[in-house]
Amino acid sequence: MGKTKDTFQARPEQGLSHPETPFQDDEKDLSLRPKTLDEFLGQKAMKANLSVFIAAARERNESLDHLFLIGPPGLGKTTLAQVVARELGAEFKVTSAPALEKPKDLAGILTTVSEKTVFFIDEIHRLKPAIEEMLYIAMEDYELDWIIGAGPSARTIRIPIPPFTLVGATTKAGNVSSPLISRFGITCRFSFYEKEDMEAIVRRSAGILNVSVSDDGAALLASSSRGTPRVVNRLLRRMRDFAQVSGERVVTGRLVADGLRRLEIDSLGLEKHDREILRVIIERYGGGPVGAETLAISTGEAVDTLEDYYEPYLIQTGLLQRTPRGRMVTALAYEHLRMERSGNTGDKTASLFPSP
């Protein structure tokens, strides 16, 4: 089908995948990423502190202290690392911990960095011990330990590298070793975004995508996006599709409500699989407690995805609890799903979804 309205013409997309969530195909458009701290919306306290640290490093003409980013997927950790590099006027190098198989992989990157380079490692909790130990010396002394030869004739030499800034990002701070955490001078913890920040993100992204969004449409998108910029940008693109094909020139609240129903996203932003997780706990395990591995098998989901993507928002909204004995749903979950304690469903399922 050809383009029917110029209003919905998108900018060309560039590739950068995010394997940490099921929605990697929707984050390819780098044009939606903020370029500066001023464009980076939300996370106000964290951003205010970081702007001070960046300004101080620039005034001293030094590399920024190593930066540790913690938070659920989709909240902007990779984007913030890119913004920091741009604010510092520094080179940006990126990799992920699973891609670093051997110490020589890390050495190959660090020996090519220039002074003040921002080196971003995603999923840093998955670093292998040998690579992590090499990183300790690189972070503290800006040197690499390298073994030459083998057996009795083997010797260790230290290779100097330029001062750089390591930015480590993780969704599982508890899985990062204490020696590694202690070497980061700055820690930034991301939280889910407030609704007003999400609305601002919708308007900014709509402007970039050349899409007109009404106030009620932006508000409904913001409230149904799990407090996550990646999700709201994905939904905005889908609403753009619905509007274009239906001949609408504006993404209104009515159009968003209809689109969310078609995508099976309810009034709290829960998707079908979120509700399935809650239903499984209620119907098969009497509301819990149930262990993460058992729940993952019952829902056909990987444990990591369950813990990193689905559970944080369910816990944040008060629908799920993590206890020492396992996962338990709350009274609010029964109420939201219109289910009774016995596990029987009511007849008000339609009210889960947004109204026009």
For residues 237 and 230, give the distance between their C-alpha atoms in angstroms, rounded to a whole number. 11
Task: Give the whole-angstrom CA distance, residue 44 versus residue 276.
Answer: 34
- Angle CA(136)–CA(139)–CA(143) in degrees, nearest 5? 90
Task: Report residue 289 CA to chain centroid gap.
Answer: 27
Q: Which residues contact 3 (CB under 8 A, 6 or more apart)?
A: 9, 244
Task: Measure Cα distances from 213 to 201, 240, 249, 250, 282 in Å.
Answer: 12, 9, 9, 5, 38
C-alpha distances out from residue 298 to 214, 320, 328, Å: 41, 16, 15
Do residues 289 and 328 make contact, with C-beta atoms less than 8 angstroms apart? yes
Catalytic residues: 77-78, 122, 171, 230
* Structure tokens given for 190: 């991301």
121 closest CA partner among 166, 177, 66, 90: 166
Q: What is the residue whose two structure tokens read 């202290």? A: 65
Q: Which of 138, 136, 88, 132 is nearest to 111 (CA)?
A: 138
